[in-house]
Structure 1
Amino acid sequence: MNDEQDSNRWRQLDKDLKRIGRLELSGQAISRPLIAPGAALVFILLACGAAALALTPSGSSWALVLAAGVGAYMALNIGANDVANNVGPAVGAKVLTMGGALLIAAVFESLGAVLAGGDVVETIAGGIVAPEGFATSDGFVRVMICAMIAAALWVNLSTWLGAPVSTTHAVVGGVLGAGMAGGGLDAVNWPAVGTIAAGWVASPVMGGVAAAGLLAFLQARIARAPDPLAAGRRWAPVLVAAMAGVFTTYLAMKALSHLIPVAPWQALGMGLAAGLAAWAAAHPLVAWASAEMENRPRSLKALFRLPLAIAAALLSFAHGANDVANVVGPLAAIARATQDGAAGALVVAPGWVMAIGAVGISLGLLLFGPRLVRMVGDEITKLSPPRAWCVAMSAAATVILASWMGLPVSSTHVAVGGVFGVGFLREWQEARRAREARRARDRALDHAPEERSRRMLVRRSHFLTIVAAWVVTAPATAALSALILAVWSRLL
């Protein structure tokens, strides 16, 4: 009898333990999706606390604390959406794992923002709105806060939809809409708006053409050469040198220029010196890396793995130095206006403001970035190390060329345009081979129309979604910021 009671007791205990185990698993499944939003909320509250500690006795506490929270929210969204363009191709090419890419991007984004973000930040999206167009500093502060809220909400929505958009254009649209609603048409610098709008069209086209041209060059000079291995050994050091030169010039113009004045010819000289040094160092490394390779084009993909990883890190550094201004600029202007009542086009960013931008971008990438990283790297078109390298190189080279031309471009549009360019070039090559097969009556290489449609190398659904998001970003954020300002003015 005692044995039977003990057996029943153990069976009941097993049932209770299984029930508890199921409850624990259910609790974990419910709480896991809340970890990232919870961490983001903690960061926003810490940013508000930093703003409260930075207040002076004469400062307007509510406006600065609110602006700090909105700025932190904006930084998180920039990290979740914009940074995917820097590391997505490397992840799609299987050069970096998702975890490794997120870690590299977070570290170099923070380094770029802190070391080269600059103490003097040009605000109001490059002079879109003139501060003197507002009667009081309170009106200017309201416009900046509404613009940041609208831009952050739009970027958040775009990230949720899986569309990489330009956070710079979102900020520009937000400032433009709230500026017109709060200060009238005269408060807007329309020539600057027209110049920036021209860059919206030029960015993806320039990036796509450059990436497609680089890929065609690699195919002609290496992949289709009579001796691919010998061609790879000859051209790989040249390509490494070109990458070093282009990225050195890019970093000098986009990052170093925040610390010291850098003329275009000086940046070009730095790039030339770095390219020559890289060319001299690459020869023995390429010879060593290719010693055991088979003489076929597929084997040469390994030569692009390390350059592509380095390119992802350098792009992240430059992005952190440049795009942190989307958060720091408006927030620094609000800090100055609320503390001493002055609203100027150039302001000095306090350390705590720079920290919000740097930490927020990296944290947003780590918490919410994987979805857009996969989108850019895997879901638009298939990327190999050489193709992804072409995207990274085209992004840097296009930004440099546009800067010299005085044309403001979006790094997001350039990078994603490069991915499209690589995919559409391969589609065009596939279609050309099919036409040649039909003319030669080679049924082995020809395909039925349904099969040709299935073989399209760029996913049209993603292409249309991304282009539509690009087109409506500025108008949507402008309308949203104007609406938020109108509601705010009516309620308060």
Structure 2
Amino acid sequence: MDSLLLVSVILGLYFAFNIAANDIGNSVGTAVGSGALSMRRALFLGAFFAFLGALFFGGNVIRTIGEGIIPSDSFSVIAGFAVILTAALWITVTLLRGIPISGSDAMVSAVIGVGLVSVGWSKLNFNTVIYIILSWILSPMIGFFSGFLTYSVIKVGVIRRVKRISVRDRLEKLFAYLQMLSSSFSAFNVGALDFGVAMGVIFTLSGGSSSFLKIVGALGLVMGIIFVGDRVTETIGRRITELVPTRGFSAQVAASIVSFVFISYGMPISPTQTLVGSVIGVGLARGTSTLKFDVIKDIGYTWILTIPACLILGVVTYSVLRVLSGLL
């Protein structure tokens, strides 16, 4: 079992690598899409603040993932391995397609699926599951309305009052600097959330907190952001709607505040869904003609598919592992 735990840790780092690559688009995608930052600078900025978020703010989500659904005393090494393997496989497939899914959805669904066959229906904490599902529904909706409202206020209160083109250009440059701040705040949130999602099961299996696991897990997030974070960043920043700094800042700051509140309560929401909702809200505030509904539809299908796919895959993975462990 010790060897299986070691493999689980390696898989956890692999998942951290992938989920950070998937979610960094939430932090820096709008800054890249609006031209405030180049892709390379945006990824390094995101990696730095995600590392800080993982180290200093990841504890709440760790407890929810590691203990909130399946009781910690019932979480076997085989169950933990099955959860991490399921989520890692799913996020790899979607990352290769450049689709910004929710790693949180994948991990929580895998935990529920594995829990159903490992400890049984009666031992799962469905109060926590209900709260998580509500957060999944509410966060993109709140992100949508927040993005719409934020950009509408900026548009009416600032942009429409500026008539001269030269002054408007300077205004966009000012918001480009503000967007760097909002992107940093968002990256901090992503680090805190993704670290908890990726390492929550590992921390439970290892018997508690570990400074070594914290640093290694945070570095796994950083590597994912730097080496493959450009795939989903491109989708978030350029493929949903056209962004300039005022619109990018509106979407980013609205989604960041929503994410921070949910993470403070330990809810493993999807920052991807929250920001996509906010970007759509900003696009709608400009007019529906600016939105690319084919891209939004593809993202929506993948979100919907993630939950049942990871739940079923978790059941199958755990069942196969149990059979194999009996043969070995």
In the alignment, which residue of structure 2 is the partner of 1:333? 204
1:326 deviates by: 1.3
Q: Which structure has more RCO (C-alpha within 8 Å, separation ≥ 6)?
A: 2
Distance in 2, Cα, partners of 1:120 & 1:314: 17
1:298 deviates by: 4.1
Distance in 1, Cα, partners of 2:193 & 2:265: 18
In the alignment, which residue of structure 2 is the partner of 1:478? 311
1:354 deviates by: 1.1
Q: Confirm whether residue 380 of structure 1 aligns to residue 265 of structure 2.
A: no
Match of 1:107 among 48, 55, 79: 48
1:416 deviates by: 1.3
1:393 deviates by: 1.2
Distance in 1, Cα, partners of 2:261 & 2:9: 35
Alignment of 1:440-451 (within 5 A): none
User: Which one-letter code corresponds to 2:173 in the other structure?
Assistant: A
Is the radius of gyration larger for structure 1 or structure 2? 1
Residue 122 of structure 1 aligns to a residue in which SS?
Answer: helix
Matched-pair contact (CA < 8 Å) for 1:125–1:175: no
1:219 deviates by: 1.3
1:154 deviates by: 1.1
1:120 deviates by: 10
In the alignment, which residue of structure 1 is the partner of 2:27? 86
User: Which one-letter code corresponds to 1:87 in the other structure?
Assistant: V
In the alignment, which residue of structure 2 is the partner of 1:422? 282
1:401 deviates by: 5.3
Alignment of 1:41-56 (within 5 A): none
Q: Confirm whether residue 74 of structure 1 aligns to residue 15 of structure 2.
A: yes
Residue 314 of structure 1 aligns to a residue in which SS?
Answer: helix
In the alignment, which residue of structure 2 is the partner of 1:188? 124
1:408 deviates by: 6.2
Distance in 1, Cα, partners of 2:134 & 2:191: 24
1:356 deviates by: 2.5
Q: Deviation per CA, 1:435-488, whole angstroms, max 9, x where unpaired?
A: xxxxxxxxxxxxxxxxxxxxx322222101111111122221111111111111
Residue 206 of structure 2 aligns to a residue in which SS?
Answer: helix
Q: Confirm whether residue 222 of structure 1 aligns to residue 82 of structure 2.
A: no
Q: Deviation per CA, 1:221-280, whole angstroms, max 9, x where unpaired?
A: 12222x558xxxxxxxxxxxxxxxxxxxxxxxxxxxxxxxxxxxxxxxxxxxxxxxxxxx
Q: Deviation per CA, 1:97-149, whole angstroms, max 9, x where unpaired?
A: 011011111122122223444599415356011234x4xx6xx2211111111
User: Which one-letter code corresponds to 1:192 in the other structure?
Assistant: T
In the alignment, which residue of structure 1 is the partner of 2:224? 364
Q: Confirm whether residue 319 of structure 1 aligns to residue 167 of structure 2.
A: no
Alignment of 1:30-179 (within 5 A): 60-118=1-59, 121-122=62-63, 124=65, 127-132=68-73, 134=74, 140-179=76-115
| Alpha carbons of structure 1 residues 186 and 311: separation in structure 2 relative to 1, 3 Å | same
Q: Confirm whether residue 212 of structure 1 aligns to residue 84 of structure 2.
A: no
User: Which one-letter code corresponds to 1:155 in the other structure?
Assistant: I
Matched-pair contact (CA < 8 Å) for 2:13–2:220: yes
Distance in 1, Cα, partners of 2:183 & 2:261: 20
Scaled by the length of structure 2, what TM-score is found?
A: 0.92
Q: Confirm whether residue 294 of structure 1 aligns to residue 175 of structure 2.
A: no
Distance in 1, Cα, partners of 2:61 & 2:135: 24
Equivalent pairs, count: 325
| Alpha carbons of structure 1 residues 114 and 403: separation in structure 2 relative to 1, 3 Å | closer
In the alignment, which residue of structure 2 is the partner of 1:352? 212
Distance in 2, Cα, partners of 1:185 & 1:327: 24
User: 5+ unaligned residues in a row in structure 1: which ranges?
Assistant: 1-59, 230-292, 337-346, 429-455
| Alpha carbons of structure 1 residues 418 and 120: separation in structure 2 relative to 1, 3 Å | closer
Distance in 2, Cα, partners of 1:97 & 1:404: 30
User: Which one-letter code corresponds to 2:166 in the other structure?
Assistant: E
User: Which one-letter code corresponds to 1:174 in the other structure?
Assistant: A
Distance in 2, Cα, partners of 1:321 & 1:396: 12
| Alpha carbons of structure 1 residues 184 and 416: separation in structure 2 relative to 1, 3 Å | same
User: Which one-letter code corresponds to 2:84 in the other structure?
Assistant: M
Matched-pair contact (CA < 8 Å) for 2:28–2:183: yes
Alignment of 1:245-260 (within 5 A): none
User: 5+ unaligned residues in a row in structure 2: which ranges?
Assistant: none
The alignment yields a C-alpha RMSD, in angstroms, of: 2.3
Q: Deviation per CA, 1:399-438, whole angstroms, max 9, x where unpaired?
A: 355578997642221111111111222224xxxxxxxxxx
Scaled by the length of structure 1, what TM-score is found?
A: 0.62
Q: Percent identity?
A: 29
Distance in 1, Cα, partners of 2:115 & 2:24: 28
Matched-pair contact (CA < 8 Å) for 1:195–1:408: no
| Alpha carbons of structure 1 residues 201 and 126: separation in structure 2 relative to 1, 3 Å | farther
User: Which one-letter code corresponds to 2:220 in the other structure?
Assistant: G
